[in-house]
Amino acid sequence: MPTIQLEITSGKLAGEGVITAQKKLSQLENVFQDEATRKSMDQDQLIYEVQAYMPVEEGKEGGLYFGNSTIFPGKVNNEYFMTRGHFHTKLDTAEYYWCIQGKGALILMDEEGKTWLEEMTPGSVHYIPGKIAHRVANTGDEKLVFNACWPSEAGHDYATIEKDGFGARLMEVDGKPQLVQNKKEMV
Amino acid sequence: MPTIQLEITSGKLAGEGVITAQKKLSQLENVFQDEATRKSMDQDQLIYEVQAYMPVEEGKEGGLYFGNSTIFPGKVNNEYFMTRGHFHTKLDTAEYYWCIQGKGALILMDEEGKTWLEEMTPGSVHYIPGKIAHRVANTGDEKLVFNACWPSEAGHDYATIEKDGFGARLMEVDGKPQLVQNKKEMV
């Protein structure tokens, strides 16, 4: 098994088998509340970048993956740049995120739509229990970088979030991040 | 779920739920080849220290634990200070180790006793596949520190190693670390 390399202070991965994926604003249709503003912005803008080391095939039980994510600073109107978010396909599987640099929020949601957050600052370690959807928003002025470890059997269920969203969105309100309930949650 | 704190450059964990265990030389009976020398040394000497964050009960499927290990520098005769080593009780479960500081070796063994190593240096990330026993030796002059992530269902099987050992030992030979086959493996 080839070893890979972690740059400890930046969280970046390098080496054979490390894959990288990028999400530009053009690829995040209907992710943010203000879709008109998203469409009016530079579509090539990079919103986030993910590195993953997946030494065994996805779906295998008992294996683990290792990753690094960078979310760039910015907002769509008053909503912070963030990841799409997902449940795990094998729902009851956990994940760790640990923050390396920057400032942000881990947004968590249970299966009933209840949504809350944990603040991410350098060194914060976040245990995401099974059955909990998770997305990350950058609430600062610099890159938000974190590492991750998750089971190879977990998989990613993006469809549930695409359909129903999270129960709340992280907006800048009076200059500060605040979880704002989605209207459909309030009726 | 309370978040815990990782000191990024030292690998140390802090916060509610982080437990610490220490192994002194007195607790490592018959781990090193030269048991007479081990007995003659300071029994209170700390050989290694482990921190673990275990937010769900051991044995639960789909959960994950996060850890930090420090192995102090030194030798018993010409064998480097090292951990006892273990298989996972649920054998086919993986683990990550990633080195933060120091210099050492991850010693790996399959179920047939075949033993090999991966060098540990700051930033090296090691995927330990399922069914592979693992122990770590400090081959340097300073502390060897690494972080770890493993499944909550993995468990620790120390007994198999206590009984049969690894197929080879990491010894200092001509001033350099070298895996030396155990005699019983050579007949």
What is d(CA B49, CA B56) in angstroms, rounded to the nearest whole number? 22
User: Is the minimum CB–CB distance between B59 and chain A shorter than 8 Å?
Assistant: no
Domain hosting residue B94, numbered range: 5-186
What is d(CA A87, CA A133) in angstroms, rounded to the nearest whole number? 4
> Which residue of A62, A92, A100 is in closest CB contact with B93?
A62
Q: Which residues of A touch B150 (CB under 8 A)?
A: 64
pLDDT of residue B186: 46
pLDDT of residue B2: 74
Q: Which residues of B touch A96 (CB under 8 A)?
A: 64, 66, 149
User: Is it the case that residue A8 has pLDDT exceeding 90?
Assistant: yes
Q: Do A6 and B123 touch (CB under 8 A)?
A: yes
**Range B86-98 average pLDDT:** 97
Q: In sequence order, which ranges of chain A are alpha helices (DSSP H)? A: 35-40, 159-164, 183-186
The domain tally of chain A equals: 1
For A68-91, the pLDDT digits (tens) are 999 999 999 999 999 999 999 999
pLDDT of residue B67: 98
pTM of the entire predicted model: 0.96
For B153-173, the pLDDT digits (tens) are 999 999 999 999 999 999 999
**Residue tagged 């080879």 (tokens):** B168
User: Is it the case that residue B187 has pLDDT exceeding 50?
Assistant: no
Q: Which residues of B touch A55 (CB under 8 A)?
A: 127, 129
Q: Do B64 and A118 touch (CB under 8 A)?
A: no
What ipTM does this complex have? 0.95
The residue of chain B nearest to residue A18, with distances taken between CA atoms, is B125
For A60-69, the pLDDT digits (tens) are 999 999 999 9
For B65-90, the pLDDT digits (tens) are 999 999 999 999 999 999 999 999 99
pLDDT tier at B184, thresholds 50, 70, 90: low
pLDDT of residue A36: 98
Look up the CATH number of the domain holding residue A147. Answer: 2.60.120.10
Neighbouring CB atoms inside 10 A of B40's CB total 11
% of chain B exceeding 70 in pLDDT: 97
Residues B125, B118 contacting (CB under 8 angstroms): no
Q: Which residues of B touch A127 (CB under 8 A)?
A: 1, 3, 53, 55, 64, 66
pLDDT tier at A1, thresholds 50, 70, 90: low
DSSP designation for A163: H
User: Is it the case that residue B185 has pLDDT exceeding 70?
Assistant: no
pLDDT of residue B180: 97
Residues B124, A5 contacting (CB under 8 angstroms): yes
> Which residue of B6, B150, B151 is in closest CB contact with A123?
B6
pLDDT of residue A184: 61
pLDDT of residue A182: 84
